[in-house]
């Protein structure tokens, strides 16, 4: 275990780390930063909320500070790819905290924003470019950016980046990158097929795994309510009413469902907003800002937020609908219990979602304790039921681990955002975009 002041970082970077209040590294930082500083390719696996952004951001910035000269027009020295707009913005905000007062420039390119403004900014060149693949390809097609000078590549949430939805974009981007280069992949889950594909992008990588893939953070208390679909709205309102001041993130499977649910909550007097793929980037940014600052305390979202929200004050995550992809459950509930805090994850399971829950439990290698209702899982064990006093919903919190008063303050944190699930009796679902 090292302290950050033992790494021999550039003086301005060491100063920024101290000002941000970081002294002891998390396990993923402890194992990934030293070899990354040496220039090794790194494949890092760690639970959500354990500091992966700092694990790749610190060595990346240190390398760039040591390089002479400014970036040429329309070029970048380092490229970070992430699957969602929210995650791109979150990463960039964290890196800007560390690069403040240095020569380095951080730029973002995401869909939903003015491409002409992004073209203008990139015309000056940038040291670090954080991007979603689709918008980056648009800019490449317009010859607004050249990646030939990129010597550092980071894929954040690498499992989703290398999933079929992004692999074609990566195959278009990769040939344009400079060589030789350092490549770092970080994720909370690592499916076997993704690991095989990742070998294309890394050279003699050091694999670092600080927790089993699919394992949720230890400080997350999980529970599930078995109930008919028609009873979900009432159960949600019951749970929300027990801790009205807590920051609560509610996940819906579809865009339409998220919007309808949010409007119903607002009509019933709850302070709620929503984010999903039908919202403009400005609307999504404003909703997350209000949630971070505590102006609203219930945020209804699709999986667009499963990997893109890093707000330490989130006390509860409610899976109103279970995700079609089991790994997404791990990412969803990882929005709570961040930065060492405690959190609670509550799931609703309707009869037609039983197979989804079964697959989630298989991925996590654990049974989710039952809070209410009768399980419809074939392999359900009575031993998984909590004691009588723990049924019926989330416990109220107090003290440092509670929800009250933790939703405010927008300081960036470095503690870091649909398919299968079919059973024999369950028809195939069509993939829905977040």
pLDDT digits (tens, 9 = 90+) for 358-385: 999 998 889 999 999 988 775 444 434 4
Q: Are 284 and 292 in contact (CB under 8 A)?
A: no
pTM recorded for the entire structure: 0.66
Q: What is the pLDDT of residue 307?
A: 66
Q: Where are the domains of the chain?
A: 4-209, 220-401
Higher per-residue confidence, 187 vs 58:
58
Q: Do β-strands 42-45 and 220-226 pair in parallel, antiparallel, or remain unpaired?
A: unpaired
Percent of the chain with pLDDT over 90: 51
The reply to whether 220-401 shares the fold of 4-209 is: yes
Q: What is the pLDDT of residue 411?
A: 38
What is the mean pLDDT of the segment spanning 267-281? 90
Pairwise CA distance, residues 16 & 126, whole Å: 20
Tokens of residue 427, six digits: 């028809």
Q: What is the pLDDT of residue 163?
A: 62
Q: What is the pLDDT of residue 93?
A: 92
Topology, domain 4-209 = Rossmann fold (3.40.50)
Confidence of residue 218 (pLDDT cuts 50, 70, 90): low
Topology, domain 220-401 = Rossmann fold (3.40.50)
SS (H, E, C) the chain: CCCHHHCCCCHHHHHHHHHCCCCCCCHHHHHHHHHHHCCCCEEEECCCCCCHHHHHHHHHHHHHHHCCCCCCCCEEEEEEECCCHHHHHHHHHHHHHHHCCCCCCEEEECCCCCHHHHHHHHCCCEEEEEECHHHHHHHHHCCCCECCCCCEEEEECHHHHCCHHHHHHHHHHHHHCCCCCEEEEEECCCCHHHHHHHCCCCCCCEEEECCCCCCCCCCEEEEEEECCHHHHHHHHHHHHHCCCCCEEEEECCCHHHHHHHHHHHHHCCCCEEEECCCCCHHHHHHHHHHHHHCCCCEEEECHHHCCCCCCCCEEEEEECCCCCCHHHHHHHHCCCCCCCCCEEEEEEECHHHHHHHHHHHHHHCCCCCEEECCCCCCCCCHHHCCCHHHCCCCCCCCHHHCCCCCCCCCCCCCCCCCCCCCCCCCCCCCCCCC
Confidence of residue 222 (pLDDT cuts 50, 70, 90): very high
Q: What is the pLDDT of residue 198?
A: 76
Q: What is the pLDDT of residue 384?
A: 43
Q: What is the pLDDT of residue 164?
A: 54
Q: Do β-strands 220-226 and 370-372 pair in parallel, antiparallel, or remain unpaired?
A: parallel
Task: Report the candidate in 76, 177, 168 with the shortest Cα–Cα distance to residue 130.
Answer: 76
User: Which range has the worst mean pLDDT, 339-343, 345-349, 402-406?
Assistant: 402-406
Q: Is the pLDDT of residue 388 over 50?
A: no
What is the mean pLDDT of the segment spanning 335-357? 87
What is the mean pLDDT of the segment spanning 413-426? 37
Q: What is the pLDDT of residue 78?
A: 98
Q: What is the pLDDT of residue 148?
A: 97
Q: What is the pLDDT of residue 306?
A: 63
pLDDT averaged over every residue in the chain: 82
Q: Is the pLDDT of residue 200 over 50?
A: yes
Q: What is the pLDDT of residue 193?
A: 61
What is the mean pLDDT of the segment spanning 396-400? 38
Q: Is the pLDDT of residue 182 over 90?
A: yes
- End-to-end CA separation in angstroms for the chain: 39
Q: What is the pLDDT of residue 433?
A: 42
What is the mean pLDDT of the segment spanning 411-433? 39
């Amino acid at each position: 275990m090292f302290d950050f002041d033992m790494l021999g970082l550039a003086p301005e970077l060491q100063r920024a780390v101290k000002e941000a209040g970081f002294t002891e590294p998390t396990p993923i930082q402890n194992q990934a930063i030293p070899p990354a500083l040496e220039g090794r390719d790194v494949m890092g696996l760690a639970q959500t909320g354990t500091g992966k952004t700092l694990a790749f951001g610190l060595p990346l910035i240190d390398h760039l500070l040591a390089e002479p000269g400014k970036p040429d027009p329309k070029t970048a020295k380092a490229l970070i790819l992430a699957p969602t707009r929210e995650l791109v913005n979150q990463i960039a905000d964290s890196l800007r905290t560390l690069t403040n007062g240095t020569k380095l420039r951080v730029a973002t390119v995401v869909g939903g924003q003015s491409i002409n403004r992004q073209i203008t900014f990139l015309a000056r060149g940038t040291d670090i470019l954080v991007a979603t693949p689709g918008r980056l390809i648009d800019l490449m097609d317009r010859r607004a950016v050249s990646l030939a000078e990129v010597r550092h590549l980071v894929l954040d949430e690498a499992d989703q980046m290398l999933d079929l939805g992004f692999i074609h974009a990566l195959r278009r981007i990769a040939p344009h990158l400079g060589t030789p280069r350092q490549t770092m992949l970080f994720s909370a889950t690592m499916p076997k097929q993704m690991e095989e594909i990742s070998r294309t992008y890394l050279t003699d990588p050091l694999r670092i795994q600080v927790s089993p893939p699919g394992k949720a953070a230890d400080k997350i208390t999980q529970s599930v309510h078995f109930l008919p679909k028609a009873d979900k709205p009432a159960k949600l309102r019951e749970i929300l009413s027990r801790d009205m001041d807590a920051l609560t993130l509610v996940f819906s499977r579809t865009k339409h469902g998220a919007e309808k649910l949010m409007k119903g909550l607002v009509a019933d007097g709850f302070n709620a907003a929503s984010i999903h793929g039908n919202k403009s980037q400005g609307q999504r940014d404003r909703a997350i800002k209000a949630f971070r600052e505590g102006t609203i305390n219930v945020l209804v979202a699709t999986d667009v937020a499963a990997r893109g929200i890093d707000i330490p004050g989130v006390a509860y995550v409610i899976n109103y609908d279970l995700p079609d992809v089991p790994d997404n459950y791990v990412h969803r509930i990882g929005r709570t219990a961040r930065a060492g805090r405690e959190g609670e994850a509550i799931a609703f399971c309707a009869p037609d979602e039983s197979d989804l829950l079964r697959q989630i439990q298989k991925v996590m290698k654990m049974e989710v304790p039952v809070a209410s209702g009768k399980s419809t899982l074939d392999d359900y064990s009575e031993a998984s039921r909590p004691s009588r006093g723990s049924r019926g919903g989330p416990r109220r919190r107090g003290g440092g681990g509670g929800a009250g008063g933790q939703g405010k303050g927008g300081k960036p944190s470095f503690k870091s955002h649909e398919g299968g699930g079919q059973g024999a009796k369950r028809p195939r679902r069509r993939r829905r975009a977040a």
